[in-house]
Structure 1
Amino acid sequence: MKIIAALLFLLISPASFCQPMNQIDPKMIQSFAPTGTLRVGINLGNPVLAGLDTATQKPKGVTIDIANEIGKRSGIPVELIPFQTAGSTVDAIKTGNIDMIFVAIDPVRGADVSYTPPYIQIEGAYMVKANSSLKTNEEVDRSGVEIVVGKGSAYDLYLTREIKNAALLRAASSQAVIDDFMAGKGNVAAGVKQQLESDAKRYQGLRMLPGRFMVINQAIGIPKARPDYEKTTTYLSSIITDLKSSGFVAEAMKRHNIQGAKVAE
Structure 2
Amino acid sequence: MKATMLFGLMLALSFGGKAIAADDDVLHELAPTGTLRVGVAYAPAPTPLFVVKDAAGEAHGVARDLGAAVGKALDVPVAFFVVATTGEVTNALASGAIDIGVMPADEDRRKRVDFAPPYFVIECTYLVTDNPEIKAIADVDRGGMTVVGIAGSATERAAARSLKVAKIVEAKTVDEAMTMMKAGTAQAFALTHDALPLLQPQVPGSRILDGAFQSFGVGIAVQKDHPAALAYIKAFTERAKADGTIRRAFGDAGLNRLQIAP
Q: Over aligned residues, Cα RMSD in angstroms? A: 2.4
TM-score with structure 1 setting the length: 0.84
Deviation at 1:64, TM superposition (A): 1.4
The whole-number CA distance in structure 1 between the counterparts of 2:131 and 2:139 is 15
The whole-number CA distance in structure 2 between the counterparts of 1:100 and 1:125 is 27
Deviation at 1:69, TM superposition (A): 1.1
Identify the range of structure 1 (56-65 vs 207-216) with the bigger mean alpha-carbon deviation: 207-216
Q: Is the 8 A contact 1:151 1:172 kept in 2?
A: yes
Deviations 1:193-252 (A, max 9, x none): 34333223233221222233332311111111xx5x122111100110111122221121
Q: Amino acid of the residue matched to residue 255 of structure 1? A: D
The equivalent of 2:207 in structure 1 is 207
Indicate which of 233, 241, 246 corresponds to 1:249: 246
The whole-number CA distance in structure 2 between the counterparts of 1:186 and 1:130 is 12
Q: Is the 8 A contact 1:122 1:262 kept in 2?
A: no
Report matched runs for 1:22-61 at 5 Å.
Answer: 24-45=22-43, 47-48=46-47, 49=49, 50-53=51-54, 57-61=57-61
The equivalent of 1:7 in structure 2 is none
Q: Is the 8 A contact 1:47 1:194 kept in 2?
A: no
Gaps of 5+ in 1: 1-13
Identify the range of structure 1 (159-168 vs 240-249) with the bigger mean alpha-carbon deviation: 159-168
The whole-number CA distance in structure 1 between the counterparts of 2:198 and 2:15 is 40
Change (3 A) 1:213 1:116: same
The whole-number CA distance in structure 1 between the counterparts of 2:78 and 2:12 is 24
Partner of 2:96: helix, strand, or coil? coil
Partner of 1:168: helix, strand, or coil? strand
The equivalent of 1:216 in structure 2 is 216
Report matched runs for 1:226-237 at 5 Å.
Answer: 229-237=226-234
Indicate which of 248, 259, 262 corresponds to 1:262: 259
Q: Higher Cα Rg: structure 1 or 2? A: 1
Q: Is the 8 A contact 2:39 2:100 kept in 1?
A: yes
Change (3 A) 1:176 1:82: same
The whole-number CA distance in structure 2 between the counterparts of 1:93 and 1:206 is 36
Deviations 1:79-125 (A, max 9, x none): 11211111111111122211110000011111111100001123322
Gaps of 5+ in 2: 1-10
Report matched runs for 1:151-162 at 5 Å.
Answer: 151-162=151-162
The equivalent of 1:138 in structure 2 is 138
Q: How many positions carry a matched residue from both structures? A: 248
Partner of 2:118: helix, strand, or coil? coil
The whole-number CA distance in structure 1 between the counterparts of 2:139 and 2:126 is 11
Partner of 1:252: helix, strand, or coil? helix
The equivalent of 1:147 in structure 2 is 147
The whole-number CA distance in structure 2 between the counterparts of 1:242 and 1:206 is 40
Change (3 A) 1:91 1:151: same
Deviations 1:150-200 (A, max 9, x none): 111110122233333332111122332121122232322111234333223
Q: Amino acid of the residue matched to residue 234 of structure 1? A: A
Q: Is the 8 A contact 1:99 1:223 kept in 2?
A: yes
Q: Is the 8 A contact 2:84 2:172 kept in 1?
A: no
Q: Amino acid of the residue matched to residue 39 of structure 1? A: R
Report matched runs for 1:62-141 at 5 Å.
Answer: 62-141=62-141
The whole-number CA distance in structure 2 between the counterparts of 1:84 and 1:260 is 25
Deviation at 1:144, TM superposition (A): 4.0
Partner of 1:191: helix, strand, or coil? strand
Q: Is the 8 A contact 2:20 2:74 kept in 1?
A: no
Q: Amino acid of the residue matched to residue 41 of structure 1? A: G
Q: Amino acid of the residue matched to residue 137 of structure 2? A: N
